[in-house]
């Protein structure tokens, strides 16, 4: 009887319900010809937690517009399974993001593979003892489930993939600063909670055919806090060295030709604007890495290289993370003292070029009878060294002197702006008392240019003008956004009117540049005569303008507007940007 009981117990222990979870992916089981649907992510996230209950935790951090759970896998051997625990112990957090463009899905399969091997101590041994890893297998989940063949015909495998944009047709890698999409808002909440030291964004590049297989771009290297750039370079260079030792041929710039489809034009390096991950994260004084495997390498090769990159990053953070944590803390402290400083808000490559040897293929450029354009055709059987120019010297482009104290958002715009500031984790306060007149700076646009078409659901706008001193009332309920905070650069990126991804640039304030009130022509005629009769000097100015400006003299509407702008009914708020700057804290 005892033997029977023991036998049953042993059989129960070995039964499928007690078997170790299978942590392999459909990609692995198909020899990397296929990738799984999102239900595989949900299953694997849970199975990692079941297999490693003390080292892995599956969490939800949002819901997509189509109702799918946004999954993240927390992996660490430190015991810090929450953001609060990680912060309390000052542990570096490494966020690895796959599938922001769901057709470029290498990161999902490579991330699961890398983390399984790290948990098994087959890769980066000991790395999980010194950091917390947040793995988001798929960011653009609804796009991932728009699943079919040939979604990316300029990519070799897998057989079927998801779609670049979300169900609402947002490109998430244009949404970091403006944060329109529910997915990005959930991601920013995750970032605010966990404060990752490193943000690793896994992609697959488009482009030409050549032998190089991956690009690794890190910021800050050319941008943001100057002292923190040393940490960015160390991360980038060490990962490049690891990949090179493993047989890859990486580069530290995005391998897209200066002139589309023309290899001889070479390459131009860049610093992304904050709509992109590598432009946004450095404004928070953290390290961002863009990984772009080469689309024309087959899927097994791309997954292997992405896996190698993830393992390298985890190894580097384990070795250098504590030092980099100190560096970002020091960058936070410096940013909080940027009041009245001049800071760059965008960057550009200079015309200085150096020649590099680039491993491409023999090619021809001949006119096409289909498009009528000059087209490049590659012969992948004939490797060839291209000696081409690379422009990789970066300098500031737009630079702005920041206010000494901060920005003021009038009460009428407080709800809209406050929502965006909270999404980014930016500190501000609501003014409980108004002021009839305050010494502030205002920005009045001298020229406003609206984009002719919509971009990412917005009609973008650019303005010309300058800040100038002007006393203005500040209503109760307005916002004061201090520049003296660690995210000072991000504050400026969102609120400086000329910044490339400011709230103004994305059309949040377009009504400020729309004329609402006007004088009918017949009324303007009478008012103009009365104004000249009351003010002979004005009448003389008008006559001089007619005599010296032929275009004005021929333009009846312009002649009437000359008087309308001087009339008491003219809207003095027209083209006034509804954000002010102050050198005195409010």
pLDDT by residue (tens digit) across 212-253?
A: 999 999 999 999 999 999 999 999 999 999 999 999 999 999
Examine the domain organization and report whether 95 and 173 are in the same domain.
yes
Residues 428 and 485 reside in one and the same domain: yes
- For 254, the token pair is 């995005």
Asked whether residue 11 is domain-assigned, the answer is: no
Domain identity same for 275 and 375: no
Q: What is the pLDDT at residue 11?
A: 39
As beta bridge partners, residue 383 has 361
The pLDDT of residue 6 is: 39
C-alpha distances (whole Å) from 137 to each of 41, 98, 113, 134, 192 are: 7, 5, 11, 10, 19
Spell out the residues 6+ positions from residue 85 whose beta carbon is closer than 8 angstroms to its own: 79
pLDDT at 2 (0 to 100): 41
Q: How many domains, the chain?
A: 4
Q: What is the pLDDT of residue 83?
A: 98
pLDDT digits (tens, 9 = 90+) for 295-331: 999 999 999 999 999 999 999 999 999 999 999 999 9
| Six-digit token string for 303 | 């997954």
Q: Which residues, 6+ apart, have CB-to-CB distance to 501 below 8 Å? A: 177, 178, 273, 274, 275, 279, 493, 494
Report d(CA 305, CA 170) in Å as an integer.
28
Half-sphere exposure of 135 (CA within 13 A, CB side): 33
Give a yes or no: residue 10 inside a domain: no
**Which pLDDT score, from 0 to 100, does residue 8 have?**
37
Identify the band that residue 281 occupies on the pLDDT scale cut at 50, 70 and 90.
very high
C-alpha dist (Å) from residue 563 to 342, 549, 560: 39, 16, 6
> Three-class SS string for 475-503?
CCCCEEEECCCCCHHHHHHHHCCCCCCCC
Same domain, 411 and 528: no
Q: What pLDDT, in 10s, does the model give residues 142-163?
A: 999 999 999 999 999 999 999 9
pLDDT confidence band for 3 (50 / 70 / 90): very low
**Is the residue at 16 inside a domain?**
no
Cα distances from 555 to residues 31, 544, 558, 559, 567, in angstroms, run 72, 15, 5, 6, 19
Rounded distance between C-alpha atoms, residue 481 and residue 585, angstroms = 9
Mean pLDDT along residues 517-542: 94
Q: What is the mean pLDDT of residues 418-438?
A: 97
Q: What's the average model confidence in pLDDT over 179-195?
A: 98
Number of H helices, E strands in the chain: 16, 25
The pLDDT score that the predictor gives to residue 12 is 41
CA distance 281 to 526: 58
The residue among 141 and 18 whose pLDDT is bigger is: 141
Rounded to whole angstroms, how far apart are CA atoms 149 and 157?
9
Cβ atoms of 177 and 283 closer than 8 Å: no
User: How many angstroms separate the Cα of 566 from the Cα of each of 39, 521, 551, 558?
Assistant: 65, 15, 20, 13
How many other β-carbons are positioned within 10 Å of the β-carbon of residue 145?
18
Band (18; pLDDT cuts 50, 70, 90): low
- For the whole model, what pTM was predicted? 0.94
- Same-domain status, 426 and 312: no
Which burial class, exposed, middle or buried, applies to 581 when counting CB atoms under 10 A from its CB (0-12, 13-18, 19+)?
buried
Tokens (6 digits) for 370: 């289909």
Residues 279 and 425 in one domain: no
- Write down the pLDDT at residue 20: 84
Average pLDDT (165-173) is 98
> Could you tell me the two tokens for 28?
């692995």
| DSSP tag of 465 | -
407 and 433 belong to one structural domain: yes
Shared-domain flag, residues 421 and 534: no
- Chain position carrying tokens 């939800």: 60
Residue 348 in domain: no
Nearest to 585 by CA among 473, 483, 514: 483
Rounded to whole angstroms, the Cα distance separating 175 from 423 reads: 12
Bridge partners of residue 367, in order along the sequence: 374
Provide, rounded to the nearest whole percent, the portion of the chain with pLDDT above 70. Answer: 97
Residue 14 has pLDDT above 60, yes or no: no
For position 491, what pLDDT does the model report?
A: 98
What is the reported pLDDT for 537?
Answer: 96
Omega before 158 within 30 of 0, i.e. cis? yes
Do both 92 and 49 map to the same domain? yes
CA atoms within 13 A on the CB side of 265: 14
Q: Where are the alpha helices (DSSP H) in 120-158?
A: 141-144
pLDDT, position 340:
98
State yes or no: pLDDT of 289 exceeds 90: yes
Give the residue-averaged pLDDT of 18-36: 94
Residues 172, 304, single domain; the answer is yes
- Do 418 and 543 sit in the same domain of this protein? no
Which of 10-19, 176-185, 426-435 is predicted least confidently?
10-19
- Residue 274 scores a pLDDT above 60: yes
The token duo for 538 is: 């004005």
Band (13; pLDDT cuts 50, 70, 90):
very low
- Enclosing domain of residue 533: 521-564
Mean pLDDT of the chain: 95
The CA-atom distances, in angstroms, between 579 and each of 52, 261, 340, 411, 507 are: 51, 43, 17, 10, 14
Residues 371 and 435 in one domain: no
Query: For residue 7, is pLDDT > 60?
Result: no
Kindly state whether residue 451 falls inside one of the protein's structural domains.
yes
């Amino acid at each position: 009887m005892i033997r029977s009981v023991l036998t049953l117990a042993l059989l129960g222990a070995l039964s499928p319900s007690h078997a170790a979870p299978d942590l392999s992916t459909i990609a692995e089981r198909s020899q990397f010809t296929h990738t799984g649907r999102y239900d595989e992510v949900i299953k694997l996230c849970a199975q990692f937690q079941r297999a490693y209950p003390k080292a892995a935790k599956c969490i939800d951090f949002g819901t997509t517009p189509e109702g799918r759970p946004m999954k993240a896998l927390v992996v660490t051997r430190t015991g810090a399974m929450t953001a609060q625990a990680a912060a309390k112990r000052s542990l570096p957090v490494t966020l690895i993001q796959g599938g922001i463009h769901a057709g470029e899905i290498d990161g999902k399969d490579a991330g699961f593979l890398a983390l399984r091997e790290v948990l098994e101590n087959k890769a980066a041994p000991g790395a999980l003892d010194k950091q917390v890893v947040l793995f988001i297998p798929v960011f653009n989940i609804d796009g991932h489930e728009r699943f079919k063949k040939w979604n990316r015909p300029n990519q070799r495998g897998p057989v079927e993939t998801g779609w670049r944009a979300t169900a609402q047709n947002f490109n998430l890698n244009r949404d970091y600063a403006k944060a329109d999409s529910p997915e990005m808002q959930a991601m920013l909440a995750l970032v605010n909670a966990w404060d990752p030291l490193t943000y690793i964004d896994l992609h697959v590049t488009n482009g030409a055919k050549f032998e190089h297989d991956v690009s690794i771009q890190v910021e800050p290297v050319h941008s943001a806090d100057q002292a923190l750039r040393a940490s960015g370079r160390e991360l980038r260079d060490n990962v490049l060295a690891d990949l090179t030792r493993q047989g890859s041929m990486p580069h530290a710039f995005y391998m897209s030709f200066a002139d589309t489809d023309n290899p001889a034009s070479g390459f131009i390096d860049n610093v992304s604007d904050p709509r992109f991950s590598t432009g946004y994260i450095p404004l928070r004084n953290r390290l961002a890495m863009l990984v772009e495997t080469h689309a024309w390498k087959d899927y097994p090769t791309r997954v292997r290289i992405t896996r190698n990159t993830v393992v390298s990053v985890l190894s580097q953070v384990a070795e250098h993370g504590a030092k980099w944590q100190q560096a970002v803390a020091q960058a936070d402290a410096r940013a909080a003292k940027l009041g009245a400083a001049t800071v760059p808000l965008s960057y550009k490559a200079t015309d200085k070029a150096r020649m590099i040897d680039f491993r491409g293929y023999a090619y021809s450029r001949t006119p096409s009878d289909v498009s009528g354009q000059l087209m490049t055709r590659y012969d992948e059987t004939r490797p060839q060294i291209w000696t081409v120019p690379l422009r990789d010297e970066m300098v500031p482009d737009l630079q702005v002197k920041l206010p000494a104290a901060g920005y003021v958002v009038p009460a009428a715009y407080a709800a809209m702006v406050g929502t965006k500031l909270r999404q980014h984790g930016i500190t501000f306060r609501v003014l409980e008392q108004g002021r009839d007149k305050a010494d502030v700076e205002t920005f009045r646009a001298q020229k406003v240019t609206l984009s002719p078409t919509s971009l990412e659901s917005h009609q973008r706008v650019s303005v010309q003008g300058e800040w100038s001193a002007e006393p203005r009332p500040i209503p109760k309920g307005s916002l004061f956004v201090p520049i003296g905070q660690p995210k000072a650069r991000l504050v400026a990126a969102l609120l400086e009117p000329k910044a490339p991804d400011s709230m103004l640039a994305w059309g949040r304030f377009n009504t400020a540049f729309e004329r609402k009130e006007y004088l009918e022509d017949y009324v303007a005629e009478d008012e103009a005569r009365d104004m000249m009769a009351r003010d002979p000097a004005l009448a003389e100015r008008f006559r001089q303008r007619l005599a010296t400006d032929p275009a004005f003299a021929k333009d009846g509407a312009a002649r009437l507007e000359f008087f309308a702008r001087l009339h008491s009914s003219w809207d003095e708020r027209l083209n006034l940007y509804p954000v002010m700057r102050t050198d005195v804290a409010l």
